[in-house]
């Protein structure tokens, strides 16, 4: 173990709540100790789920592990917390360029460069993407093939997922139900990939009333969220309105702090959708 990693590890052990997990995680990442770096980053995210730099660190580790989808989600989260975060713009620019979407890559890289004008890697990346866009000759567009009309089932699934458009778990992991146990949006599948959304929705009927009643009897005030931990996954249950309930389910590896952040984001989307119905 190098001196810098040893010293940072000692500091974190002495003060687990310290932000020293950020340079420690980065030092481990640069040394190629990705599993150790990920462990440090996740522990930090558990304590600081609203810290953009923590999501940025975790995203860089995930990118080194070629887990680009989760890295995208982490950088997206960092930007939601801080729209001017240069590191997140830089990371998303890299992922978009890797996916062949140079124009979107350039937009993020230029946004990052505006926040960090002295970053040489951002300057080089912007120049490279601009050259790529300039060299790309537009090919004649082929007439698009007529898409097959969606089935009624596909239309219904798309409408339910649209409530949480852009959020992780829009089709599996986010479930909005009314107080009668009717699924309003989202989707949920079990470990065998069986659709269990309607069954779970039915079981949730009346849960919000019981939660409110229990909180009142205990003198706790208005209930805001119930978090569940289980070997197969974690879940958060919270009211989206007086007439609707939101269930958020994630893998057990997702830190509870990150689960709660995801639940709050999904609840905002659900409330915005419910407002369009009034």
> Does domain 3-135 fall into CATH 1.20.140.150?
no
Question: Which parts of the chain are beta strand (E)?
Answer: 174-178, 183-187, 226-230, 233-241, 244-250
Q: How far apart are CA 127 and CA 142, in angstroms?
A: 30
Query: Does residue 72 contact residue 95 with C-beta atoms inside 8 Å?
Result: yes
* From 58-72, 85-99, 130-144, the region with the lowest mean pLDDT: 130-144
Q: How far apart are CA 247 and CA 189, in angstroms?
A: 13
Cβ neighbour number for residue 49 with a 10 Å cutoff: 20
The CATH superfamily holding the domain 152-275 is: Dynein light chain 2a, cytoplasmic (3.30.450.30)
Q: How far apart are CA 209 and CA 183, in angstroms?
A: 17
Domain boundaries, the chain: 3-135, 152-275
At residue 137, the pLDDT reads 47
At residue 61, the pLDDT reads 95
pLDDT, one tens digit per residue, over 137-155 is 455 555 555 555 544 444 4
Q: Is the pLDDT of residue 136 over 80?
A: no
Exposure string for 15-41, b = 16+ CB within 10 A, e = fewer: eeeeebbbbbbbbbbeeebeebbbebb
At residue 143, the pLDDT reads 57
pLDDT, one tens digit per residue, over 191-250 is 888 888 888 888 887 776 777 778 788 888 887 888 888 888 889 888 888 888 899 998
Query: Does residue 122 contact residue 130 with C-beta atoms inside 8 Å?
Result: no
């Amino acid at each position: 173990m190098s001196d810098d990693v040893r010293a940072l590890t000692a500091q974190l052990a002495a003060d687990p709540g310290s932000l020293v997990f950020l340079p420690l995680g980065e030092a481990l990442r640069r040394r190629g100790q990705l599993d150790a770096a990920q462990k440090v980053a996740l522990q930090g995210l558990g304590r600081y789920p609203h810290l953009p730099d923590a999501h940025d660190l975790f995203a860089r580790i995930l990118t080194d592990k070629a887990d680009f989808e989760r890295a995208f989600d982490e950088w997206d989260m960092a930007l939601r917390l801080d729209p001017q975060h240069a590191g997140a713009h830089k990371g998303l620019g890299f992922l978009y360029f890797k996916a062949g979407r140079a124009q979107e890559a350039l937009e993020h890289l230029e946004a990052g460069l505006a926040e960090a004008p002295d970053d040489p890697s951002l300057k080089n990346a912007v120049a490279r993407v601009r050259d790529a866009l300039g060299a790309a000759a537009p090919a004649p567009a082929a007439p698009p093939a007529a898409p097959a009309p969606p089935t009624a089932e596909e239309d219904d699934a798309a409408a339910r997922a649209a409530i949480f458009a852009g959020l992780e778990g829009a089709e599996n992991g986010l479930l909005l139900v009314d107080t009668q146990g009717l699924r309003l949006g989202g989707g949920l599948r079990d470990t065998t990939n069986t659709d269990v959304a309607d069954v779970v929705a039915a079981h949730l009927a009346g849960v919000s009333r019981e939660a409110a009643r229990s909180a009142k009897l205990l003198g706790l005030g208005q209930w805001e969220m119930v978090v569940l931990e289980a070997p197969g996954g974690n879940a958060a249950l919270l009211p989206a309105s007086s007439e609707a309930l939101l269930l958020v389910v994630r893998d057990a590896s997702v830190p509870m702090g990150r689960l709660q952040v995801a639940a709050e984001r999904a609840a905002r989307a659900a409330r915005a959708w419910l407002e369009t119905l009034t």
